[in-house]
Amino acid sequence: MPDLTFFRVPLLAAVLGVGGCAFISSDQTAEALKANADKHASFQIAVSPTLACPKAARMLSWCAGGPNYHYRCHTSGDGSRAELSGTLEAIYRTEYFMVTEFVKGGGDTTVTVHQHDSVLVYDYAPMMEAYFAGTAGCQPR
């Protein structure tokens, strides 16, 4: 019988990866991420939620992308709220690593970023704040 010692570690890693171990977050819904987030940050912008969310999603897709990272917007019917979710989509599950809420209030929009703190996750609040202020180093084309 052949010696299979060489294949034990890669095989174990493959089994753990396919078996349901989280890569970034164990949160599988936006609500769970908001409750379990490591960081919460808020700032004000002068852009409506209906415009801010897709602009932020486009910028993050360009400047903070990664393999299987997806950014999606969900906007309320009246346009007063929007939610941007950042997910890592693997073969067997979707993990939420960032949720940003855009809420219209008065003349400004309040942006609240909920995210996990991980080596694989960017620090989204300063990146978005700089983008909306026009001082970001990365601009989508």
What average pLDDT does the chain have? 81
Residue 69 tokens read as 């990272």
pLDDT at residue 16 in the model: 39
The Cα 12–Cα 22 span in angstroms is 15
Partners of 42 in the beta sheet?
A: 112
pLDDT at residue 58 in the model: 93
In the chain, what are the helix, strand and coil shares in percent, each to the nearest 5? 35, 30, 35
Question: What band does 30 get if pLDDT is binned at 50, 70 and 90?
Answer: confident
Show the domains of the chain with their CATH numbers.
25-133 (3.30.310)
pLDDT at residue 3 in the model: 54
Q: What mean pLDDT do residues 40-65 have?
A: 93
pTM: 0.78
pLDDT at residue 6 in the model: 47
Q: What mean pLDDT do residues 1-12 have?
A: 47
Question: What band does 93 get if pLDDT is binned at 50, 70 and 90?
Answer: confident
For residue 79, pLDDT beyond 80:
yes
Q: What is the pLDDT of residues 100-131, one digit of tens each?
A: 999 999 889 999 999 988 766 788 999 999 99
What distances in angstroms separate CA 42 from CA 5, 32, 60, one per listed residue?
52, 19, 17
pLDDT at residue 1 in the model: 55
